[in-house]
């Protein structure tokens, strides 16, 4: 299931205090991208597919398929900007807002 296909409809009674996750591998069930205050913008023309951004993303929001990175998973990206700082080609820039 793609993250964009997740239709989160958790009743408030099922949400933990502070939306804490107590079980492993459940973070994909929570769309945390709405917490973002800055958004990474991917410029595919500038990208050289070095994949330096992929391992530094703390939210695993940079999908890679067949050795090539794709656009961000905005459902889970929190906009930390680490990817933009490590990109040597300027293919990732940060913009204010979601």
- Structural domain harbouring 89: 37-98
Backbone angles phi, psi at 84, to 5 degrees: -65, -35
Is 59 domain-assigned?
yes
pTM (two decimals): 0.68
Residue pair 36/59 in contact (Cβ under 8 Å)? The answer is no
Is 68 domain-assigned?
yes
Is 24 domain-assigned?
no
From first to last of its 98 residues, the chain has per-residue pLDDT tens of 444 445 556 676 776 666 666 665 556 667 777 788 899 999 999 999 999 999 999 888 999 999 999 999 999 899 999 999 999 999 999 999 77
Residue pair 72/53 in contact (Cβ under 8 Å)? The answer is no
CATH of the domain at 98: 3.30.70.20
């Amino acid at each position: 299931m793609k993250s964009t296909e997740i239709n989160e409809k958790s009743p408030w009674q099922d949400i933990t205090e502070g939306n804490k996750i107590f079980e492993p591998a459940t973070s994909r069930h929570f769309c945390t991208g709405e917490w973002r205050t800055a958004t990474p913008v991917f410029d595919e023309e500038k990208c050289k597919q070095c994949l330096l951004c992929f391992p530094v993303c703390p939210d695993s929001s940079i999908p890679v398929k067949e050795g090539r990175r794709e656009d961000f998973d905005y459902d889970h990206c929190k906009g930390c900007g680490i990817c933009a700082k490590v990109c040597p080609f300027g293919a990732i820039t940060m913009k204010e807002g979601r």
